[in-house]
């Protein structure tokens, strides 16, 4: 008897943000293949399952994607209910599409259970709305792991026309900030770094774009997933969620205050007209 595979999005880290269907599939699982950023607390949701780590982290030894595909197919063919637990959403920078393709080609039944991507969840938890009437009407999401991944979109994006969200871009925050400034973005554009959103290690930095490269990340958050946000909406963070975990503002207090006041004033003005 052939089993089945559930490609499950684990969300940003807090198990309370798992979907109800994800929780049900974990409870039914015989085997869970999990990523590096999957929450340890999720183990309590699948106490009878075998757990096998197949995570990938930059610069570290990791399980080859072809090996993961073979494991999914083999264990499902043995009749097991397999959960592939992936941080965020399976189809957003998670290679979920490759795994789904491998399963489809092998004739193995599978389903995709969406998760809350950190591209959306991290800014929201930190008090940053990616779109906001009168401030930003669009956003783009890019991977920051390599210049070839983010350069084409950032080079084609007119300055300040959309909120920019960068995943896996902590190490490239300097080159990314410089690239945007060279292409006409104001040096004082509000920007943010959000680390470990949805976890006890949550941390936030807010400041102008030209200070992004010099931001100092906390040692205790080493290895935590991070998201960069560039755009006027980033300045709303300290108004909409002033108590977010550990909050660090830049030393450029005048610029930060000025940039923060502009979108908040726009928010107030718009609210008064509705």
106 plus 51 within the same structural domain: yes
Q: Which of 14, 16, 35, 89 is catalytic?
A: 35
106 plus 138 within the same structural domain: no
pLDDT recorded at residue 272: 42
Question: For residue 248, what is the domain's CATH number?
Answer: 3.30.950.10
> What are the residues whose beta carbons fall under 8 Å from the beta carbon of 248, sequence distance 6 or more?
203, 204, 205, 206, 215
With contact defined as beta carbons under 8 Å apart, do 235 and 260 qualify? yes
Give the span between the Cα atoms of 174 and 150, in whole angstroms. 13
> End of a domain among 116, 145, 170?
116
34 plus 81 within the same structural domain: yes
Give the span between the Cα atoms of 52 and 172, in whole angstroms. 31
pLDDT recorded at residue 246: 63
Q: Using one digit for the tens of pLDDT, what is the confidence trace for 129-146?
A: 999 999 999 999 999 999
Is the pLDDT confidence value at 261 over 60? no
Measured CA distances, 69 to 66, 212, 217 (Å) = 5, 38, 35
Is the pLDDT confidence value at 260 over 70? no
265 plus 235 within the same structural domain: yes
96 plus 185 within the same structural domain: no
176 plus 265 within the same structural domain: yes
57 plus 168 within the same structural domain: no
Task: Provide the 8-state DSSP code for 131.
Answer: S
Q: What is the mean pLDDT of residues 178-196?
A: 97
What is the share, in percent, of the chain residues with pLDDT greater than 70? Answer: 86
Tell me the pTM.
Answer: 0.87
65 plus 85 within the same structural domain: yes
72 plus 135 within the same structural domain: no
Q: Using one digit for the tens of pLDDT, what is the confidence trace for 47-82?
A: 999 999 998 765 566 889 999 999 999 999 999 999
Domain range enclosing 140: 119-273
Q: Using one digit for the tens of pLDDT, what is the confidence trace for 201-258?
A: 899 999 999 999 999 998 877 677 899 999 999 999 989 998 886 666 553 333 444 4
> End of a domain among 89, 116, 143?
116
> End of a domain among 90, 116, 142?
116
105 plus 232 within the same structural domain: no
Q: Using one digit for the tens of pLDDT, what is the confidence trace for 84-128?
A: 999 999 999 989 999 999 999 999 999 999 999 999 999 999 999
Told to judge if 56 belongs to the known catalytic residues of this protein, a careful annotator would answer: yes
Told to judge if 86 belongs to the known catalytic residues of this protein, a careful annotator would answer: no
> What are the residues whose beta carbons fall under 8 Å from the beta carbon of 263, sequence distance 6 or more?
132, 135, 190, 232, 233, 235, 236
Q: Number of folded domains in the chain?
A: 2
Q: Which of 14, 16, 30, 56 is catalytic?
A: 56
Q: How many CB atoms lie within 10 A of CB 122?
A: 30
128 plus 264 within the same structural domain: yes
Strand residues in the chain grouped as ranges (E): 4-9, 31-34, 50-53, 81-86, 110-113, 139-143, 163-167, 190-195, 203-208, 226-230, 246-249
More confident residue, 266 or 90: 90
243 plus 133 within the same structural domain: yes
Pairing of strands 190-195, 4-9: unpaired
With contact defined as beta carbons under 8 Å apart, do 138 and 33 qualify? no
3-state secondary structure of 140: strand
Question: For residue 87, what is the domain's CATH number?
Answer: 3.40.1010.10
């Amino acid at each position: 008897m052939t089993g089945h595979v559930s490609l499950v999005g684990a969300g940003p880290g807090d198990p309370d943000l798992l979907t109800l269907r994800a929780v049900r599939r974990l409870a039914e699982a015989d085997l869970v293949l999990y990523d590096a950023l999957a929450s340890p607390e999720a183990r309590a949701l699948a106490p009878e399952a075998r757990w096998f780590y197949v995570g990938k982290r930059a610069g570290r030894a990791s399980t080859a994607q072809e090996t993961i595909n073979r494991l999914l197919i083999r264990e499902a063919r043995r009749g097991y209910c397999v959960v592939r637990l992936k941080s965020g959403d399976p189809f957003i920078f998670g290679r979920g599409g490759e795994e789904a393709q491998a399963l489809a080609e092998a004739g193995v039944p599978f389903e995709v259970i969406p998760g809350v991507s950190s591209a959306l969840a991290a800014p929201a938890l930190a008090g940053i709305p990616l779109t906001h009437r009168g401030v930003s009407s669009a956003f783009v999401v890019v991977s920051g792991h390599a210049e070839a991944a983010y350069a084409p979109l950032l080079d084609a994006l007119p300055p300040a026309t959309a909120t920019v969200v960068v995943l896996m871009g902590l190490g490239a925050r300097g080159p990314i900030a410089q690239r945007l400034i060279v292409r006409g973005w104001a040096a004082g554009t509000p920007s943010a770094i959000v680390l470990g959103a949805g976890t006890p290690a949550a941390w936030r930095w807010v400041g102008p774009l030209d200070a992004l490269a010099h931001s100092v990340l906390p040692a205790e958050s080493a290895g935590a997933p991070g998201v960069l946000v560039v755009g006027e909406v980033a300045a709303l963070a300290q108004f909409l969620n002033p108590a977010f975990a550990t909050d660090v503002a830049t030393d450029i207090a005048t610029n930060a205050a000025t940039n923060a006041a502009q979108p908040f004033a726009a928010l107030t003005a718009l609210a008064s007209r509705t």
